[in-house]
Amino acid sequence: MNYTIKLRAGARLDLSEDLLKKIEKFGAVQFSPVQLADILGADREDVKDVLMHQEKHPFNVAYHKGRLQAEFQLREKVFDLANKNSSQAQELAKRFIDENRIHLV
């Protein structure tokens, strides 16, 4: 299946592997859907629709993969610092644990 995203001019943008890698990087730096659309020259509503309603779309997968990998790296550093007795990191790590516990129930 050939996945695309609508451009502002009405044309379609093919999602090459290179473009998906860029989208992953944009997700990693926590770009909002509007920022992502703007930097790609894509239609904002199409990008929002893909990210909100099409979880298997490669655009969505790449964006969230980058976002979650960046969050993982940050949390990993927080837990590393917490294990080295950083009180601020320990507080933040505890908050992560508590938030996760709430979502698991």
pTM above 0.75, yes or no: yes
Contact 69, 62 (CB under 8 A): no
Sequential pLDDT tens for the chain (105 residues): 678 888 988 888 889 999 999 999 999 999 999 999 999 999 999 999 999 999 999 999 999 999 999 999 999 999 999 999 999 999 999 999 998 888 776
Contact 66, 24 (CB under 8 A): yes
| Distance set, CA 102 to CA 38, 70, 92 (Å) | 35, 22, 15
| Distance set, CA 38 to CA 2, 26, 46, 69 (Å) | 22, 12, 12, 23
pLDDT score recorded for residue 105: 65
Specify the amino acid at residue 9.
A
